[in-house]
Amino acid sequence: MLRSLEIRDLLIIDRLDLAFQPGLNVLTGETGAGKSILLDALGFVLGWRGRAELVRAGAAQGEVTAVFELSPDHAARAVLAEAGINAEDELILRRINTADGRKTAWVNDRRTSGEVLRNLSDTLVELHGQHDDRGLLNPRGHRQILDAFAGIDLAVARAAWTGLARARRARAGAEAALTAARQDEDYLRHAVAELDKLSPEPGEEAALDARRRAMQGAERIRADIGRAQMALSDQGAEASMTDAMRWLEGASGQAEGRLEGALAALGRAMVELSEAQAGVDDCLSALDFNPYELEEVEERLFAIRAMARKHGVLADELGGFADDLHRRLAAIDNGAGNLVALDKALDEAGADYRRAATALTAARHEAATRLDAAMAAELAPLRMERAVFETRIAPGEEGPEGCDELTFTVATNPGAPAGPLNRIASGGELSRFLLALKVCLTANTPGLTMIFDEIDRGVGGATADAVGRRLALLARGAQVLVVTHSPQVAALGAHHWRVEKQVEGGMTTSTVVPLDTSARIEELARMLAGDTITPAARDAARALLA
């Protein structure tokens, strides 16, 4: 329940403190006095999107604070818990709007976002404005209204619709891919055959190129290496060194040790000479190749490079390219089987969706029967006991929320044909249908403050009195705030405020004044008679209050 509303420097309000009460609270005043500003202020602190410029001219910032009383089982406690805010019996919402447009909000002195405010507002306040009946006139919103009345959970149907849409996309995508692949089937099969025959390996091109260059260079250096081999052999350096060692060894006995160093050096040289001969022999063995091998290497190398140029890839990428072509061919070869599997998945997804949609339709038919009965009970005290409200459900286009088209129809007079609200009901009748519908929709929402902004427009006399009595009855178990121009409705309020506009020092401000019994008589008389209040108008006001 809304306990208080404090407004500072907002639009034409300088400073305003309002203490609301349980039951029926009515606000009256001349047109343009600022009644709608109170609703703008309340909407601002609740995070609703409204006017862009709210700060009073000349002020640095505007501020609104709303205090709500929460019952132990109030739905706002769950929102607070999800936001990580401690829930107490008193909920304080505060929001500031600076002159440059920045907005800051707090919940119980905890900085928070506008989204948290809006989530809280759904559990705290239900506002029915002057043009709220537009939702009744638009059949597109009727299904949503019925679902809200029934508390229908759309999650299963939405999930089934998502699954069905996914299965449809998969089936269509597979068929399109198969069609596109089949257009290139001849090319794919020819290219795969060529690549499989060639069977290139990663790094093969570099290895072949190196082997080719080695064989091309072998002929140029082989002759020199052969001559070196001869020079080092037993017919060359080795023979000379062997003779030298034999001659020196024969003479060393008579040289008194002077040849020992030379003989040792020649021994070491023979070892090094042997290693040199082995290296030269190994090199000549490596350079020894089949004369036809160079031709084979070149043919293989040129074939790989030509294939790479043909398909516009690097030589080392030919293997991966071939794998991709194989996959595309496999998709063609397995395409029919894949389509069968996807068709089966699509059928299953369709069956899931139809089951969910059928369950929704059944739930809506059951809820429509209850809503029609509840509306009949609500319309009687609103002096529309002869009107018939009927919820009509027909098959419609499939979607995430089922496949039902829903329309609210009325017959306002006995024997008259039923038709859509926007063609049958007058302005005053629409207001009463709206009131009855809102009562039905919020009947199971305890702790909700209901605000009606000129819900009684278009009606007067006994009908306005009936509307007022229904609001008063509704307020017995809830808090109801009503902005009204109807004296019949205002007279039934348990608490009455008058919104006034005044000009001081060239500055226009709006204020709200609580009315006692004598002031209420004057206000009701004004509402009855206009600018000139007559004794008869005061007597009529007293009669209304009585």
pLDDT tens, position by position, 302-317:
988 888 898 888 888 8
Which amino acid is it at 308? A
**What is the number of residues in the chain?**
546
Residues 176-185 have a mean pLDDT of: 78
Element (H, E) at 165: helix 155-183
Nearest residue to 300 via CA among 400, 215, 418, 420: 215
- 79/10 Cα distance (integer angstroms): 28
Q: Which residue has the higher pLDDT, 324 or 360?
A: 360
Residue 35: the pLDDT is 77
Q: Which residue has the higher pLDDT, 267 or 7?
A: 7
Q: How far apart are CA 451 and CA 18, in angstroms?
A: 15
Task: Beginning with the edge strand found earlier in the chain, give each strand of the sheet holding 13-19 in spatial order.
Answer: 13-19, 2-10, 61-69, 90-98, 103-107, 110-112
Q: What is the token pair recorded at 420?
A: 């859509």
Q: What is the pLDDT of residue 478?
A: 81
Give the pLDDT score at 2: 92
pLDDT at 117 over 60: yes
Q: Can you tell me the distance from the alpha carbon of 262 to that of 327, in angstroms, rounded to the nearest whole number?
A: 76
Q: What is the pLDDT of residue 347?
A: 95
- Angle at Cα 450 formed by Cα 48 and Cα 56, nearest 5°? 40
| pLDDT classification of 73: cutoffs 50, 70, 90 | confident
Which of residues 362 and 219 earns the better pLDDT score? Answer: 362
**Structure confidence at residue 175 as a pLDDT band (50, 70, 90):** confident
**DSSP letter assigned to residue 145:** H
Is the confidence at residue 169, as pLDDT, over 90?
A: yes
Is 90 exceeded by the pLDDT of residue 168? Answer: yes
Q: What is the mean pLDDT of the segment spanning 149-159?
A: 92
Check residue 289 and give its pLDDT: 64
Give pLDDT, residue 50.
64
Residue 425 confidence (pLDDT): 67
Q: 401-442, pLDDT tens digit by residue?
A: 999 999 888 888 777 788 877 677 666 777 788 888 888 877
Task: Give 90's pLDDT tier (boundaries 50, 70, 90).
Answer: very high
pLDDT the model gives residue 429: 77
Query: What is the DSSP pairing of strand 110-112 with strand 103-107?
Result: antiparallel
Residue 200 sits at φ, ψ, to 5 deg, of -70, 145
Question: Considering Cα of 71, then 74, then 76, then 80, what sign does the dihedral take?
Answer: positive
pLDDT tens-digit map of 336-349? 778 888 999 999 99
Residue 197 has pLDDT above 80, yes or no: yes
- The rounded mean pLDDT for the chain is 85
Distance CA(33)–CA(204), nearest Å, equals 90
Beta strands in 50-89 (DSSP E): 61-69
Percent of the chain with pLDDT over 70: 94
Per the CB < 8 A criterion, the answer to whether 167 and 345 are in contact is yes
pLDDT, position 95 = 93
Q: What is the mean pLDDT of residues 36-40?
A: 82
Confidence of residue 133 (pLDDT cuts 50, 70, 90): low
Q: What is the pLDDT of residues 445-475, one digit of tens each?
A: 667 788 888 877 767 788 888 888 888 888 8
Does this model's pTM top 0.85? My answer is no
Is the torsion defined by CA of 184, 189, 195, 198 positive or negative? negative
Query: What pLDDT, on the 0 to 100 scale, is given for residue 131?
Result: 54
pLDDT of residue 288 exceeding 70: no
